[in-house]
Amino acid sequence: MFEDSRPIFQQIAEGIVDDILRGRYAEGEQVPSTNELAAYLRINPATAGKGLGLLVDQGILVKRRGIGMFVADGATERVSAERRERFAADFIQPLIAEAKAIGLDQEALIRLIAESTPGGAPDGGPPHTD
């Protein structure tokens, strides 16, 4: 269920962010409480609370005293923008560096990506088989 390589509270926070991006929790909508998360995930409530607290500190969730925690206004766009930046740094830049290292030019790299994409080539035709 959880990866050993990262703290559980960070994985909980990332899971909630994933749910926000997928539309499971809309802006203004209540997320599960600390105790609900702890019971569902079978973890210590303090760990669940730490994950939720991290998102509050980041401005992704807001606390409403006596009511619960809710997805903050603008959270979806903010986390989406952060993910796009991280995607570029974690995947696109290393991909480009590796392509250059093995002698692929931009056109060849784009063609390989298109051929690897479901649906084939960008023109809608079958994948090229050079």
**E strand or H helix at 69:** strand 68-71
Q: What is the pLDDT of residues 55-75, one digit of tens each?
A: 999 999 999 999 999 999 999
CB atoms within 10 A of CB 95: 15
Residue 31 has a CB neighbour count (10 Å cut-off) of 19
The pLDDT of residue 65 is 94
**Stated pTM of the model:** 0.73
**The pLDDT of residue 123:** 54
User: What is the spatial distance between Cα 38 and Cα 60, in angstroms, rounded to a whole number?
Assistant: 20
- pLDDT at 67 (0 to 100): 94
Q: Which tokens is 81 given?
A: 């923008």
27-31, 100-104, 115-119: which has the minimum mean pLDDT? 115-119
Is the distance from CB of 114 to CB of 122 less than 8 angstroms?
yes
Contact 56, 69 (CB under 8 A): yes
